């Protein structure tokens, strides 16, 4: 019975027109798929329309994904770019350094929670309008931040910027499932999540030099505005609409108007209270909510803590200038890139080998095995970072904490890539909401974290900080990972059985 239920759980992306694998294909459909993809054994199964996003040329798919990845990188880059300038903001606006760090939190919370608004709107009017809005409006808010004269105005503009940047963090997982097949998802999700996690370390690395040369924070916002305007024009030309409307005739005609010009309504996605509340439904899906919490907890320490506290800790211990502080983030960048490959393309190779071995579709839980090397990297990274700081002497720099942060970042990226790909593999029909769910947890913890980090360091010291980090990761990430691997299949079968009964 379990095998029968499991065989019914291969889900096609909701927004792509596809026929059930068990249904007989027409000769024309079979001929088209064999000519385009070399096989009809694809999940999800595309239509016979060349304008179906699953049938687009690889260059078109990858160009759209790279543009979206760049947008996501800039979205996570944006709030963290001011971290080298906390002391200057404190000086110029007459607030404490701790208060200056709240500008980062002011962006993160609306960035996570506003997805309740954008997901239904994008399902109704398409993805492309969201990308254009999420680049142009934040560019305007960043110009306003550069010209702002007081701290409250900056807080308001940071909130608005986070509000309208949110689609670039939330909706990309849906686009990946609309463009790519199951066997490609790990690699493509890995590229996107690597871009997400590269933003926080890239921001202080680059802006540290800007702050040191200009002795002001204003140029940070000018640079961000220029980058977002560039992304806006890239979206105009490189990111067509990926929500597909099935065409029953005229398959030989171009669909240019739908992809690039028109803003069309999708009648299957009405804007009502139930639609806006729909993301709350995912709290009942263990294969989504547990991985989202796992990823958020690890990221909270490996990414957000490092971005917020390194610019505060290193000047105090080592007397580092803003540019030297920025250079410490090279380690996080390198670790994120390496972890991105291991958790992305590496996990696809891992799954493909298992699929060939068992001669059938690999269970999504098999991908979760790759999290455990990630946890080992996290353990090594935390110990190296915290012990390195604890043993440092005033004004005598050591590279050990930076190396530890790099190893921690690699482990974080492996775990994050595997978890979001696992959730999409389990419930592909909710891919447009899974991105929101992961983003919500990471940004909520990112909002709370900066309020807690200073007291953690002050009360625990760096040795105690290592214990706190490892205890949180073990209890809130490692233990749930084991639970997902052991009981994940049972969770999936239960939810699919329930959905089948509801239908």
Q: Residue 393's beta-bridge partner residues? A: 396
DSSP codes joined into one string, 278-321: GGGGGGG-HHHHHHHHHHHHHHIIIIIIHHHHHHHHHHHHH---
Cβ-count burial 322-349 (b if 16+ within 10 Å, e if not): bbbbbbbbebbbbbbbbbbbbbbbbbbe
In the chain, what are the domain boundaries? 58-502
The reported pLDDT for the residue numbered 401 is 95
CA neighbor of 326 nearest in space, from 69, 73, 75, 80: 80
| Beta carbons within 8 Å of 427's beta carbon, 6+ residues apart | 11, 285, 287, 288, 434, 492, 495
Give the pTM: 0.78
The reported pLDDT for the residue numbered 112 is 80
The reported pLDDT for the residue numbered 307 is 83
The architecture that CATH gives domain 58-502 is Up-down Bundle (1.20)
CA neighbor of 105 nearest in space, from 300, 332, 283, 314: 300
Q: What is the DSSP letter of 160?
A: H
Q: Give 88's Cβ-side CA count (13 Å radius).
A: 20
The reported pLDDT for the residue numbered 247 is 66
Distance CA 481, CA 488 (A): 10
Helix (H) or strand (E) run with residue 270 in it:
none
Which two tokens mark 444?
């909520």
Q: Write out the chain's pLDDT in tens, 503 residues.
A: 333 333 333 333 333 434 344 456 888 888 888 888 888 888 788 888 888 899 899 999 999 999 999 999 999 898 889 888 888 999 999 888 888 888 888 888 888 888 778 888 888 888 999 999 999 999 999 999 999 999 999 999 999 999 999 999 888 888 998 999 888 887 888 888 888 888 888 888 888 888 888 999 999 999 999 999 999 999 999 999 998 877 656 555 667 777 888 777 776 777 777 777 777 888 889 999 999 999 999 999 998 899 888 988 998 899 988 888 889 999 999 999 899 888 888 888 888 888 888 776 778 898 999 999 999 999 999 999 999 999 998 889 999 999 999 999 999 999 998 998 899 888 878 876 787 788 888 888 888 888 888 899 999 999 999 999 999 999 999 999 999 999 988 988 877 676 654 44
Distance CA 200, CA 179 (A): 27
């Amino acid at each position: 019975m379990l095998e029968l239920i499991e065989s019914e759980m291969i889900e096609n992306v909701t927004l792509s027109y596809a026929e059930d694998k068990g249904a007989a294909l027409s000769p024309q459909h079979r001929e088209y798929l064999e000519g385009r993809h070399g096989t009809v054994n694809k999940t999800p199964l595309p239509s016979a329309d060349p304008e179906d996003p699953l049938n687009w040329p690889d260059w078109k798919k990858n160009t759209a994904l790279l543009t979206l990845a760049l947008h996501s990188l800039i979205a996570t880059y944006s709030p963290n770019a001011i971290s080298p300038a906390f002391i200057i903001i404190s000086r110029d606006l007459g607030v404490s350094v701790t208060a200056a760090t709240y500008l980062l939190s002011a962006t993160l919370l609306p960035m996570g929670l506003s997805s309740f608004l954008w997901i239904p709107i994008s399902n109704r009017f398409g993805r492309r309008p969201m990308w254009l809005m999420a680049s142009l409006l934040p560019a305007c808010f960043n110009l306003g931040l550069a010209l702002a004269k007081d701290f409250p105005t900056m807080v308001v503009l940071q909130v608005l910027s986070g509000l309208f940047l949110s689609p670039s963090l939330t909706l990309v997982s849906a686009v990946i499932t609309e463009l790519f097949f199951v066997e490609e998802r790990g690699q493509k999700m890995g590229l996107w999540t690597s871009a997400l996690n590269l933003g926080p370390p890239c921001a202080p690395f680059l802006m540290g030099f800007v702050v040191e040369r200009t002795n002001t924070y204003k140029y940070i916002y000018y640079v961000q505005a220029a980058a977002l305007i560039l992304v806006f024009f890239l979206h105009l030309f490189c990111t067509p609409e990926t929500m597909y409307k099935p065409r029953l005739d005229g398959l030989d005609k171009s669909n240019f108007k739908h992809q690039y010009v028109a803003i069309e309504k999708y009648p299957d996605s009405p804007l009502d209270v139930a639609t806006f509340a729909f993301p709350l439904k995912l709290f009942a899906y263990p294969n989504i909510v547990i991985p989202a919490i796992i990823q958020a907890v690890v990221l909270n320490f490996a990414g957000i803590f490092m971005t917020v506290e390194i610019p505060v800790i290193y000047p105090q211990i080592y007397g580092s200038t803003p540019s030297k502080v920025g250079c410490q983030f090279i380690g996080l960048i390198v670790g994120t890139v390496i972890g991105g490959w291991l958790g992305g393309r590496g996990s696809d190779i891992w799954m493909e080998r298992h699929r060939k071995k068992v001669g059938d579709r690999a269970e999504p839980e098999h991908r979760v095995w790759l999290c455990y090397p990630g946890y080992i990297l996290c353990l090594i990274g935390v110990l190296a970072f915290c012990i390195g700081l604890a043993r440092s002497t005033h004004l005598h720099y050591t590279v050990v904490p930076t190396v530890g942060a790099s190893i921690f970042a690699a482990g974080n990226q492996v775990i994050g890539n595997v978890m979001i790909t696992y959730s999409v593999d389990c419930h592909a029909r909710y891919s447009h909401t899974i991105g929101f769910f992961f983003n919500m947890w990471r940004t909520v913890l990112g909002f709370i974290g900066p309020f807690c980090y200073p007291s953690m360091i002050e009360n625990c010291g760096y040795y105690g900080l290592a214990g706190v980090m490892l205890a949180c990761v073990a209890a809130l990430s490692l233990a749930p990972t084991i639970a997902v691997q052991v009981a994940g299949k049972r969770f999936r079968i239960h939810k699919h059985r329930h959905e089948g009964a509801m239908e």
